[in-house]
Amino acid sequence: MTPAELFLPRLERVHELSSGKAGERRWQFSCPGPNHVNGDKHPSAVATETSEGTLLFYCAASCTFYEIVEGCGLKPADAFMTVGSDRKVIAEGFNLTYKEALSTLYHEATVVTIAATEAAKGTLSDTDLNRLYKARHRIEQTYLNTGLKPR
Ligand SMILES: [Zn+2]
* The dihedral formed by the CA atoms of 142, 147, 144 and 101, expressed in degrees to the nearest 10: -10
31 Cα to the center of ligand 1, angstroms: 5
CA pair distance 44, 65, nearest whole angstrom: 14
Between the CA of 37 and the centroid of ligand 1 the distance, in Å, is 10
Strand, helix or coil for residue 140: helix
Domain ranges for the chain = 3-81, 91-145
Q: How far does the centroid of ligand 1 lie from the alpha carbon of residue 1, in Å?
A: 25
Helix (H) or strand (E) holding 25: strand 25-30
What pLDDT, on a 0 to 100 scale, did the predictor assign at position 3?
A: 92
Q: How far is the CA of 14 from the centre of ligand 1 (A)?
A: 14
Distance between Cα 23 and ligand 1 center (Å): 25
Say how far residue 102 (Cα) sits from the centre of its chain: 14
Tell me, in angstroms, the distance from the centre of ligand 1 to residue 43's CA.
Answer: 9
* CA of 29 relative to ligand 1 center, distance in Å: 10
- The per-residue pLDDT for 17 is 94
Å from CA of 63 to ligand 1 middle:
4
CB of 106 within 8 A of CB of 112? no
Between strands 45-49 and 25-30, the pairing is: antiparallel
- What pLDDT shows up at residue 140? 83
Give the span between the Cα atoms of 57 and 79, in whole angstroms: 9
pTM here? Answer: 0.56
Chunked mean pLDDT (size 10), the chain, 151 residues: 93 90 90 93 93 89 93 90 58 63 82 88 88 87 70 48
Q: How far is the CA of 67 from the centre of ligand 1 (A)?
A: 8
The rounded Å distance from CA 102 to ligand 1 centre is: 40
Residue type present at position 90: I
CA of residue 69 to ligand 1 center, whole Å: 11
